Every structure is written in structure tokens, then in C-alpha cells.
Amino acid sequence: MSVTQSIDSVHQFARLIQIGVVLEELVETRARAQTGAVEEPIRSHLEAAAATAAEHRTRLLGVLDAIDADHGPAEELQTLVQHRYEADQEFDHVLYEHLCNVETAYKFYEDLSEALDASTVALSVEGEAIPDRIAHLMADERRTVEATTDLLDELEGNSEAADGSEASDESGASGAADGSGAPDDPTGGDRS
């Protein structure tokens, strides 16, 4: 089964929603597992992302219940998720892994939205059209991706600023060592 093909039955739609459940569980589980090993503001960011993923998973399970769909064998779904969406790489920072996970969830919702657009099945849950619900979840994921990217940029900016400050301190220290109070002058200090 491909997420990108059109949806022609409720059963097929249910299987795709189950993939979303597995992806959201992955985001939630990894984010919660990493919160103990990091400091603020990363911890708060991961906690918020885990809560969002849990809410999304609950909403997706609600869709399955509303269409009276079997939740299906998790092993098959996890294999499909790994094949299509999961990264098989090591990350330098927990936020890079988290970014990969939420980008993956976003990509899934984007694929699902396209499949629903091409669908021959009209689906709604509690009066809300399924494409609208998926668009809402996709918008949430996009905001999480953007917030994660912004936090990474901020942390990298702070790191670069700290590196620049250390270099400036070292430069000032070498000038002070010769008693002039100024950085070493390659011209020997003769400015006449």
C-alpha cells in the first residue's frame, strides 16, 4: 500500500490513518525519552511537541473509532513506516532527530492530503470533513517544524556568538600579556 495513491475504500483509509498513529507515537516517544537528557529551552520544546503528538494520535484514533475500523497489526504498520518515512541515520543533536521526526509526520500528512484529494470516497467524522481534519493536523506539524528550526537557529546563533566572544577574549588576553593592553601588533607597534 502506498500513501500517495488515491483512497478508494474505508479500509484503505483506515490503514493510512494507522500509519499516522504510528508516526505520532514515534514523535511522542522519542521526544519524551530525550527530555531528561537536555536543558531548557530544549526540554520545554520537546515536552510541548510530545503533548502535540499525543493529541494528534488521540484524534487519529478517534477517526478510526468513528469509521469503526480495526486498529490492525502494529508490526506491519511499523515496517511500512520504516520503509517510507523513518530515517536510518545518527544525529549530532537531539533537536536534529526531533526535526527529522516532525518533518516525517508533516510529509505523511502532506501525502495523505494529496491521496484524499484524489479519493473517490467521501469521509467525515463528527461533521468535520476528513480532508479538513488532516489539513489541521498538517498545519500543526508545520508549526512544530518551524518552531524546531527556529530553536535550532537560535541555539546555533548563541553558540557562534559564544565562540566569537571566546576568540575576542583570547585576543585581548594576548595583548594584555605584553603590557600594552592591546592585541599583538604584527608591525611591532611602530606606528610612526
Within a domain: 163: yes
Q: Residue 131 in contact with residue 173, Cβ under 8 Å?
A: no
Q: Is residue 185 in a domain? A: no
What CATH number is given to the structural domain containing 29?
1.20.1260.10
- Per the domain annotation, does 177 fall within a domain? no
Structural domain boundaries, residue 55: 10-168
Q: Does residue 86 lie in a domain region?
A: yes
pLDDT for 46: 95
Tens place of pLDDT per residue across the chain (192 aa):
456 567 888 888 888 898 899 899 889 988 998 898 899 999 999 999 999 999 999 999 888 888 877 666 556 666 656 655 555 556 678 999 899 999 999 999 999 999 888 887 777 666 677 888 899 999 999 999 999 999 999 998 887 777 666 655 555 555 544 444 444 444 444 444
Q: How many domains in the chain?
A: 1
In a domain, 36, yes or no: yes
Residue 179 lies in a domain: no
Residue 184, in any domain of the structure: no
Identify the H or E element spanning 124: strand 124-125
> Has residue 189 been placed in a domain?
no
Q: Please give the DSSP secondary-structure letter assigned to residue 7.
A: P
Tell me which residue of 137, 121, 144 sits closest to 58, measured CA to CA: 137
